[in-house]
Amino acid sequence: MSLFDKFQPIVDIRSDLQALGIMPFGAVTEKILSSTEAIVNGHQVILAGTNNYLGLTFDPECIAAAKQAIEDFGTGTTGSRMANGTFADHIRLEQELASYFERKYAIVFSTGYAATMGMGSTLAGPGDVIVLDADSHASIYDGVRLSGADIIRFRHNDAADLDKRLRRLGDRISNTLIIVEGIYSMMGDQAPLADIAEVKRKYGGMLLVDEAHSLGMLGEHGRGVAEAAGVEDDVDFVVGTFSKSLSAIGGYCVSNHAELEAVRFAIRSYIFTASPSPSVIASTRVALRLMQERPELRERLWENAHRLYDGLQQLGLQVSPQVSPVIAVTIKERNQAIDWWNQLMQRGAYVNLVMPPASPTDDSLLRCSVSAAHSPEQIDRIVEAFAAVKNSSN
């Protein structure tokens, strides 16, 4: 036996792909032409798989703020928030996030993964219980496994199954953490948060919602699914990322629990990693402001989402169960999914290829994400690329 034996299935898949001359994982972006177009693997493509939901990656105000921060503070902090890595703008961003979410406390992390994993691994511990949606993101699973808590999964988006799981806990409910996402990253479906919040009110426990893929797109102020469902008061912790709608990198947690300030000093992914660079914090602060000042971005995002969803559905493709800025096309056969991904690239559309175990089922996905920056013509070209690929396989 070798340490490497367990990686043989990955080696086999890579060998198959190399033999076909296809490398969908880690496709190389050679040049960015705009927030919606690039040269990827030698092909000029429309970017339909970048999670750049509000299209702010090239916003002049964000870029100017990042440049100025580099001039003023240099390229990095070279230390953790616990050491020399807390700059004034880190604190300002935390204050602005708390204000935006109408919460009292906020923590800024270096990545969204660190935020979600860190909160999942720290809030609950040995003797506690974590009840999470079965389709939760890998960062959530990684966190809860590190926690030492007892982990219980409930069926995806099934509030009745959550009810059953919580009912069985009895007195243990007082030290139970419930974890769900707002919009799920693979299929783009929304959590039934109104129903989940009702179950939480019935039994107790604390509720953490990951709004990574719903920030900036749902609710009157864009705060996500919890705001849209009118249940923000039932959510104890909101976590998310800067790498989607805010077009940077980093993560956050906001809460009204004063204990969050104590929890901050126990989160290993916060304590033992370098803090976000000044340029990232600066551009994120501007993006957070622009997201609130430009509600038309959210409107264009949803117009584009409906346009792509309807177009793919009219082609007879098996698409996500509901419209969202994340739209996945299910392909049963792995080799067909690989072939379609490659043909889409050649026809000028870059999407994400997702295969098991990353996909929530045994099927493969061609995952699209739309942006407010996409033009209607670009959305139509993505649909046309799918149509051409579908027709070529008939």
CA-wise closest residue to 36 among 339, 350, 385 = 350
Q: What CATH class does 5-58+295-393 carry?
A: alpha beta
Rounded Cα distance, 386 and 307, in Å? 14
Structure tokens at 74: 């240099």
Parallel/antiparallel/unpaired status of strands 349-350 and 43-47: parallel
- The architecture (CATH level 2) of 77-276 comes to 3-Layer(aba) Sandwich (3.40)
Q: Is the peptide bond before 357 cis (omega within 30 degrees of 0)?
A: yes
The question of whether 185 is a catalytic residue gets the answer yes
Write down the catalytic residue from 90, 137, 200, 213.
Answer: 213
Dump pLDDT digits (tens) for 334-393.
889 999 999 999 999 999 999 888 788 889 999 999 999 999 999 999 999 999 999 987
> Residues near 304 by Cβ (< 8 Å), separated by ≥ 6?
325, 370, 371, 372, 374, 376, 379
Structure tokens at 372: 């407010």
Parallel/antiparallel/unpaired status of strands 105-109 and 43-47: unpaired
Rounded Cα distance, 14 and 35, in Å? 30
Rounded Cα distance, 289 and 106, in Å? 16
Domain boundaries, the chain: 5-58+295-393, 77-276
Task: Give the distance, in angstroms, between the CA of residue 71 and the centroid of all CA atoms in the same chain.
Answer: 30
Could you tell me if 386 and 351 are in contact, meaning their C-beta atoms sit under 8 angstroms apart? Answer: no
In this prediction, the residues of the chain whose per-residue pLDDT falls under 50 are: none
Rounded Cα distance, 132 and 180, in Å? 6
Model pLDDT, residue 187: 87
DSSP class of residue 190 equals B
Parallel/antiparallel/unpaired status of strands 251-255 and 237-241: antiparallel
Dump pLDDT digits (tens) for 3-38.
999 888 888 888 877 777 777 787 889 999 999 999
Structure tokens at 269: 């992914």
Question: Taking the CB of residue 363, how many other CB atoms lie within 10 A of it?
Answer: 17
Rounded Cα distance, 19 and 383, in Å? 29
Could you tell me if 328 and 393 are in contact, meaning their C-beta atoms sit under 8 angstroms apart? Answer: no
Write down the catalytic residue from 121, 244, 275, 279.
Answer: 244
Could you tell me if 275 and 86 are in contact, meaning their C-beta atoms sit under 8 angstroms apart? Answer: yes
Structure tokens at 38: 């690039």
The question of whether 213 is a catalytic residue gets the answer yes
Residue type, 276: P
Task: Give the distance, in angstroms, between the CA of residue 295 and the centroid of all CA atoms in the same chain.
Answer: 20
Rounded Cα distance, 147 and 290, in Å? 36
DSSP class of residue 111 equals S
Burial 3-15 (b: 16+ CB within 10 A, else e): eeeeeeeeeeeee
Q: Which residues lie across from 330 on neighbouring strands?
A: 365
Could you tell me if 331 and 319 are in contact, meaning their C-beta atoms sit under 8 angstroms apart? Answer: no
pTM equals 0.94
> Residues near 233 by Cβ (< 8 Å), separated by ≥ 6?
none
DSSP E strands: which ranges in 102-190?
A: 105-109, 129-133, 150-154, 176-181
Structure tokens at 93: 């961003």
Write down the catalytic residue from 147, 185, 275, 283.
Answer: 185
Parallel/antiparallel/unpaired status of strands 364-369 and 326-331: antiparallel
Dump pLDDT digits (tens) for 148-160.
999 999 999 999 9
Distances from the Cα of 103 to the Cα of 33, 41, 252, angstroms: 38, 44, 12
Rounded Cα distance, 226 and 221, in Å? 11
The 3-class secondary structure across 174-231, one letter per residue, is HHEEEEEECECCCCCCECCHHHHHHHHHHHCCEEEEECCCCCCCCCCCCCCHHHHHCC
117: Cα within 13 Å, side-chain hemisphere: 15
